[in-house]
Structure 1
Amino acid sequence: MGDPFLQNCFRVGLLILPLFTCGCGGEVPPEQYVIDASETSIRLSDDLRDQFDVIPFRWDVPESWKTAENDEFSAFAWSSGAGDTEARITLTKLGMQSGVMAQVARWRNQLKLQPLGEDELAGETSAFPLEGATGTYTELKNDEKTILGLIVPDGSSMWIFKYSARLDAPDDQPESFRQFCKSLKLTTAE
């Protein structure tokens, strides 16, 4: 070890080595932290709206709906019913550039229905007046499933309220979705 640099590194190493081997001492036991389970719960639907207030709507959720886990796209999710006839209701925000009729076409594709042109798609929708806005409403079905949807433009975004369930879901589920849509109030209009 004739190199002065290596000699200095060796000396520094010998000086530092006791620091690594002595630890923190044995007198202080490790500290344990207990986290309240309520702090670790997943925040869903109404909890998020009340905490962050980023969704520009107010609504009346039907009593039969239960808060559900959000998927990768939805801002809110609910379920209604049970088992095979459970309905899923979601709220998703998309950029307006994706287009209202493109969303209706996407739902038709999900149901494996024949593609339609833009004019024909428009014929499957109706204007849906809300407090503060007018949305576009549609009801689509195939032999097994139904999708009800309300698309509400808000500036450069559109908010998509979607109901999806098997066709044999109880009749009150689609009606609950329609009533929910009627309760919507766009708060940015205030």
Structure 2
Amino acid sequence: MSKNILWLLAVVATLPVYADTNAAESAGKNPNVSKQDIIGEWQCKIIYDDLQIQALDSLDFQADGSTVGTGLLFVHNNFAYESKHTGRWQLKDNVLSETSTDYSFGRIHPSQTEKRLDEEPKLKEFESLFFENLKENSNSGESVNLHILRYDKNQMIIDHVWDNQKRYPGLCRRKIQDE
């Protein structure tokens, strides 16, 4: 694993995530988030409980509207993937939207998962289908919409809204230059 991936794991894995979206919303919304507030590097963690997925991402939102991201995706406590992408971002009505069509993914499964994949053909087939679906859906050109529920200078409480209905809680922290 590269140094950046290890750093991302160490920093982002410690981020708490609000399990109760209503609690996060009641903590207060900030209707005055500006593009300038978002510019910079962020580490984000989103938990998709019903899908048994955790996403850990490092995102650099640049002033020209471009973005660069690297991430880790953990599925069913078995599969692990790393991702890289570039794209475009915008902010409107406290919704941070990012669009990309160049996601690349790599498998970084633990050794015990690799062993199981070698020994269990059905698991290997499931993982292969999941991986292909992941690549295809991530490069569809659809925006990832993060609703900013609360913002301060170095932290955002967010909801990833999927298909305009399902909400998944998350937390993003600004990367401090010392890290």
TM-score under structure 1 normalisation? 0.26
In our comparison, the structure showing a higher alpha carbon Rg is 1
Greater share of residues in strand: 2
Higher helix share: 1
TM-score (norm 2): 0.27
